[in-house]
Chain A
Amino acid sequence: MEGRFDRRIVRETGESIVIATLRAFIIKELRHILRDRQTLIILLLMPLVQVVLFGFALRSDVRDVRLVVVDPSPDYATLALRARLAAARRFQIIGIAPSMHTVEPLFRQGKADVVMAFEPDFAARLQSHGPAHVMLLVDASDPNTATTMQSYARAVIMAYEAEEGAHRGKAIQIVGETRMRFNPTLESVNLFVPGLIALVLTLVSALMTAISLSREKERGTLEILLVSPLRPWQIIVGKVLPYLGLAFANVVTALLAAWLIFHVPFRGSVVLLLFESVLYSMVSLSLGVVVASVTQSQRVAMLIALLATMLPSSLLSGMVFPIASMPRFLQIVSNVVPARWFIIIARGIMLKGVGLEYLWRETLVLSLMTIVLMTIAMKTFKPRVA
């Protein structure tokens, strides 16, 4: 039979056929993605919008800063500064104390935002040309507010410094020292961008693969694909690769937005960061395939994918709430959240400029997760329907 003969030829050139088939599959997936304009636009704009929203939402103007002044030996200089602080409408002096001792509890209970502590004999030190010291203690649990509060307080001090110097005809020197409490590194956008990338990648990768695979199930096209010579791995790879591309585009958009709009630093290797993003996407994509394999409808797949990825990625990853402050149980749970490891990696590369020599452990965790999930995906994605 003629047909049989052709097939033998096909087998001899098996390798190129496999690639050609995969190529056709990927082209078809890309067409699905490109033709669904609305979804595509949302997916492409999402990282941009999220970075911008998070970035701006966190930069708020600060009023009514609750200030406690520690003034162990009130003199004309400290009184003058206190008067200026009281006059500034942004500050509200809620207490004056003789020592740090009584102030600490107020601060810890969140009743005060800023503590301004003058050193003893402040005026005398100013007088004797030596620098006079003032310490600012700022609640940095909300990093953006903390920076703003700090600069307001410094502005008041600097204004006094300048005026008093002019008045006396010679410069005086006040040295301020700031201590940020609760979040010593401070830059909120910098901390958020890695988390956002994790979130966006999870969304695009897990959710979209789960939806597109379960859509084939619902339409019945999966049945034809299964009855074809396509192997399950080819179907999975064909589904996964286009979304990996889309996820990659999202990482680039998010990073560009962070860099151009908020000047987030890139201290480490961009190539390494992109590589880790791809790795992290693989974890999420595998999760999407697993979800699609075990569900029967698009709707259920979507809900499960959302629950399994979005919530843990935003809440248990350390993106919003520091892992150290979680209850012990959630800390343990957070270990299986891929976003947790990715955020450590991304923060490390972007903010600390460290490389694989410090991040190999997290990278290994993500690699293992990929392998495990991919294996489960291959196992749950049966070549049969029942």
Chain B
Amino acid sequence: MTEPPSKGAAIEVQDLTRRFGNFTAVDHISFDVAVGEVFGFLGANGAGKTTAIKMLIGLLAPTSGSAHVAGLDVATQTEQIRRRIGYMSQRFSLYEDLTVLENIALYGGIYGLSDEQISERSSSMLQTLGLTDQLVGKLPLGWKQKLAFSVALLHEPAVVFLDEPTGGVDPITRRQFWELIYSAAARGTTVFVTTHYMDEAEYCDRISIMVDGRIATLGTPRDLKAEWKVDSIDELFVRLARAS
């Protein structure tokens, strides 16, 4: 799946633009993300990444252009979109003073799952992760992240948005995390990753790099490295961001 998407698109973005007064934060960006693809969305601070994501999850209306997530229009169908997406950030996902099961029950409740669905999915989640029910705050960071990711998938969203998902964990846990991502993608969930860490980007099927509100380049990590004649995505990123 390192090839550009061929099956249906989970995210379709066409000339998406957002202005704040005279400042154009996102400037006519266009791209598609295929169903089941792991897509890395990169950009320096202030490049317009956050604004673009806010539009994709329906928190911010576009000034012009269009975007569809899971076939839904981000400008008009924001309510439906939120039911079809999952979100996980390294920092703010789970309640540390609730237990694992309480967190699962909470998110299940928020997304309107039945009690049966919740208890069924909780027990299978604990089993898959090899976790016992305990306060989330007591879990090591790596476990928290794996749990947060699983909880973000609880309502079986079409697209899951991940913000710096594996920062700060040990290399083994990090790889276990990426395996969770790959396995979700293999089951048809589209994964949209944003991160500051370019070695994390190399795990994605395709990546885009935003500079000054535009998408400066887009492709598989391998193709991009060949195209720009660089050894790493980090090098490419620095070159593009500095050129601005």
- Direct A–B contact present (CB less than 8 angstroms): no
Seen from chain A, the residues whose Cβ lies within 8 Å of a Cβ on chain B are none
